[in-house]
A and B are shown apart, each in its own frame.
Chain A
């Protein structure tokens, strides 16, 4: 029982309770008899009133009263006074029920039902609500009912915004009022109502919420509102292109021989475009590709997302370069224009409105040295990156200007907030907010200043891990994000981690191993990477890697992967051939935190079974995530040793599910 002290009852108390119970039971059974026999006499209806006064949760009694009202209304000629009397009676029953239990769903709905008949005075409702809401300022039933009444009366959003002023003014620790304010204000801002322009209104709102946060740093009421304001300041609504592969001005090498092309699907390579938010509508009509490479007239663009989603940050098309004509030119220019004609729209309904163009050169080689079809090693055969060469700049444009924060008020707001939150150096929310603000600031800063900001952010998160150890892992994850931003924002830092793998046409390998990373970020900067070493980190999921469409080899050994469902994002990587998940925690835990982030019959998002699935139904049930994930990967090399799951039964199951596998746990399979 909510909030009732635990105690042992004395015999006389038990007897009193039993007597009360007997009375209520008698009332209930008499009520049921009236209800089942459709008796709506005054006596019968009064009995239901009595029942609801004692137990407002007896939902069938509310239903019965609705039937009784309809019965009465059907008997009277539409005499407005009589109708009103009948309905007013219901309102008063609801009122006394709410006095007994303010949280009774049935009572609140009954009131809405009565009001919807349109015969009752609505003005009275706001007065009643004011009274109720003063007594229980956080009651969400009352707030919901308020929105319902406001809609019926066409009361303006400005007036309601003022009501939140009053509520917050009398007690800033009212999350319900802050919430309602965010709903009203975002609607007023979206409709561009007079006096509600972001550059004017948002700075005012900052001042309001500062009062709350600075009065009591531990009170959460203003925290989420402040975060929302920050989001409104930092993120513009219109979608923008963040990066692409190939990047502007780059030159990529393709093999005419096509046999051992590291872009794997012979005769074609992926074009990847990455937006700052999920968008839909990318197609050959919204993205034009101008090239002499034949056969690319109607490119098919696909979102890198779940099957039932047509929006994504990442979109991919495959560009063909094999021609039926025997002789190749060596170099081909490719010009990609995005957003010339409208149609690319964010999930919030904003249009991509800043057309963007990038040009790159595809260099087709007649012959490329063949790679040995042997085992891929993560230790031997790597050349270090020549940091002096311009190579990296041709692969990725790290210094993309951030058009998001071009407006003055946004930059000023961020700067002011940073100054202000430096005044809360010892509190959790002070540090956390400062870290978030600096993250926004770093995005618009020069490369040199970026590093300084990232170092401060990293220190702030380290402090937070100690200061608020219950949420240690939250700060740890944020720390990883900041660290990856730092690494990918500096040419020097990044090139120190890049290598060329000789045995696979000098594929580009990035080593982010041993960084104690607990999550992945900044993938938009890493679209060019073909081999990724994430070993010896603290990752428990590969979420985010789906954007790295060129990945063919991935090393996740010595991490904290707990299930194959955590590798769901790899299903989008058509070119992945080598995967090392050895020495993880797969099979150790009874709770799978990625069970519903992985397409499967559990989420009604993957139901087909192949022959293997039909032959081994019980193993498929037991190893369902391995089955659904691994069968979608075209792996040739897999390492699973050092996981609790990796026994003989599981290994032989894997060999059935992935018949093309050549190497498992370092051993070559008999073909």
Chain B
């Protein structure tokens, strides 16, 4: 039975209350196989859920102390955070932890020197970043390092110039970016690279018209966005593509109304949550990217999100624009 057959009166509207309920419930539903498979990235899940709640102005319904005390159990002696209690530290989860604390205005509980040393310690000689001690290199980790350190106001702990040079070395002839030099452009990777360049004031390295055309051609007939040419659309690219287009000031090159409709069509109108494509199973990841996408599309009732730091604009302005 497909739940998309629900009352048509709700078609074309964001069922915000249901998404809020879905997020709050999914935290409690731990018995399904899917939730166990996702166990190792609970920190990311928490960031997706909490940011969505904040964008919908419902963050106060969460117990800050409960989240923060669990979050601290994930921190290792090295300063890095794991995806969940007992797992190994990795920058992927360290950024989420920093972002969650930023949301709650609780960055002061962090030992900033320690966390930033962990991240800075992962920079390699060529300017790239490893994700953890095992040495996987990817421009995702460059973004994560730069984003977290900027939020913690510790960018001076790394060699920013080399970090930027490495990202630029991953630029392709189509204007996009890949995970390592020579790797194919991918919208998620483009977000990471453009985001890192944005945060370091280095967007002049981007060929905005070339990349902008590649990105705007990600919009397919249904209005949704794909992540690479000739691929299916997916709600998560509403975030990766849109945020990149906004950072380079080319977002007017896509049809926003059609994209809004595509995202809204991916809602589970009965039980809340958003999926990758209409009528697929919902999850917290796509719920976040759908709502964040709507925020970037100025959908009424959704707070503005910052396209580079992936946190609400008021949170980032409070941290970076207020002395």
18 examples of A-B residue contacts, CB within 8 angstroms: A4-B281, A6-B3, A20-B33, A21-B36, A22-B31, A59-B83, A62-B134, A140-B186, A140-B228, A173-B230, A278-B204, A309-B204, A594-B249, A595-B307, A596-B307, A603-B308, A621-B318, A621-B322
CB-defined interface of A563-598 with B at 8 Å, one 1/0 digit per residue?
000100000000000000000000001110111110
Separation in Å of the A17 CB from the closest CB of chain B? 5
State whether B253 touches A471 (Cβ < 8 A).
Answer: yes
What secondary structure prevails in chain B residues at the interface with A? loop
State whether A599 touches B201 (Cβ < 8 A).
Answer: yes
Q: Cβ of A407 < 8 Å from any Cβ of B?
A: no
Given contact pairs A4-B280, A17-B33, A228 touches B254 in the complex (Cβ within 8 A):
no
Separation in Å of the B308 CB from the closest CB of chain A? 6
Q: A175-B228, A221-B230 are in contact. List 7 more A-B contacts (CB 8 A).
A: A6-B3, A6-B280, A57-B41, A182-B173, A227-B210, A228-B174, A596-B203
CB-defined interface of B257-277 with A at 8 Å, one 1/0 digit per residue?
010000000001000000111
State whether A59 touches B229 (Cβ < 8 A).
Answer: no
State whether B258 touches A63 (Cβ < 8 A).
Answer: no
State whether B219 touches A1 (Cβ < 8 A).
Answer: no
State whether B247 touches A596 (Cβ < 8 A).
Answer: yes
State whether B36 touches A308 (Cβ < 8 A).
Answer: no
What secondary structure prevails in chain A residues at the interface with B? helix
- On chain A, the residues within 8 Å of B212 by CB distance are 474
Residue of A nearest to B251 (CB): A593
- On chain A, the residues within 8 Å of B276 by CB distance are 1-3
Q: Which stretch of A24-32, A42-50, A237-245 is in the interface?
A: A24-32
Separation in Å of the B277 CB from the closest CB of chain A? 8
- On chain A, the residues within 8 Å of B16 by CB distance are none
User: Whole-angstrom distance between the alpha carbons of A596 and B198 in the complex?
Assistant: 6
Q: Cβ of A58 < 8 Å from any Cβ of B?
A: yes
Q: Which one of B160, B174, B230 contacts A219 once the chains associate, using CB atoms below 8 Å?
A: B230
User: Whole-angstrom distance between the alpha carbons of A176 and B174 in the complex?
Assistant: 12
State whether B231 touches A138 (Cβ < 8 A).
Answer: yes
Q: Cβ of A262 < 8 Å from any Cβ of B?
A: no
State whether A32 touches B86 (Cβ < 8 A).
Answer: yes
Q: Cβ of A113 < 8 Å from any Cβ of B?
A: yes
- On chain B, the residues within 8 Å of A602 by CB distance are 199, 306, 308, 316, 320-321
- On chain A, the residues within 8 Å of B298 by CB distance are 589-591
User: Whole-angstrom distance between the alpha carbons of A600 and B280 in the complex?
Assistant: 42
State whether A604 touches B183 (Cβ < 8 A).
Answer: no
Q: Cβ of B214 < 8 Å from any Cβ of A?
A: yes
Query: Which 3 residue pairs are nearest across A and B when measured between Cβ atoms?
Result: A605-B201, A596-B198, A603-B201
State whether A60 touches B32 (Cβ < 8 A).
Answer: no
State whether A21 touches B35 (Cβ < 8 A).
Answer: yes
Q: Which one of B82, B135, B321 contacts A621 once the chains associate, using CB atoms below 8 Å?
A: B321
State whether A183 touches B182 (Cβ < 8 A).
Answer: yes
- On chain B, the residues within 8 Å of A617 by CB distance are 322-323
State whether B204 touches A5 (Cβ < 8 A).
Answer: no
User: Whole-angstrom distance between the alpha carbons of A24 and B172 in the complex?
Assistant: 41
User: Whole-angstrom distance between the alpha carbons of A543 and B204 in the complex?
Assistant: 12
State whether A609 touches B323 (Cβ < 8 A).
Answer: yes
Residue of B nearest to A628 (CB): B321
Separation in Å of the B168 CB from the closest CB of chain A? 9
Given contact pairs A4-B280, A6-B268, A469 touches B255 in the complex (Cβ within 8 A):
yes
- On chain B, the residues within 8 Å of A140 by CB distance are 178-179, 183-184, 186, 228
State whether A224 touches B214 (Cβ < 8 A).
Answer: yes
Query: In the complex, which residues 428-472 of chain A have their Cβ closer than 8 Å to any Cβ of chain B?
Result: 469-472
State whether A113 touches B134 (Cβ < 8 A).
Answer: yes
State whether B229 touches A1 (Cβ < 8 A).
Answer: no
CB-defined interface of B219-230 with A at 8 Å, one 1/0 digit per residue?
100010000111
State whether A109 touches B281 (Cβ < 8 A).
Answer: no
- On chain B, the residues within 8 Å of A470 by CB distance are 219, 223, 254-255, 258
User: Whole-angstrom distance between the alpha carbons of A469 and B33 in the complex?
Assistant: 44
State whether A18 touches B32 (Cβ < 8 A).
Answer: yes
Given contact pairs A6-B268, A471-B254, A596-B307, A147 touches B182 in the complex (Cβ within 8 A):
yes
Separation in Å of the B96 CB from the closest CB of chain A? 14
State whether A5 touches B279 (Cβ < 8 A).
Answer: yes
State whether A591 touches B254 (Cβ < 8 A).
Answer: no
Q: Which one of B2, B185, B199 contacts A179 once the chains associate, using CB atoms below 8 Å?
A: B185
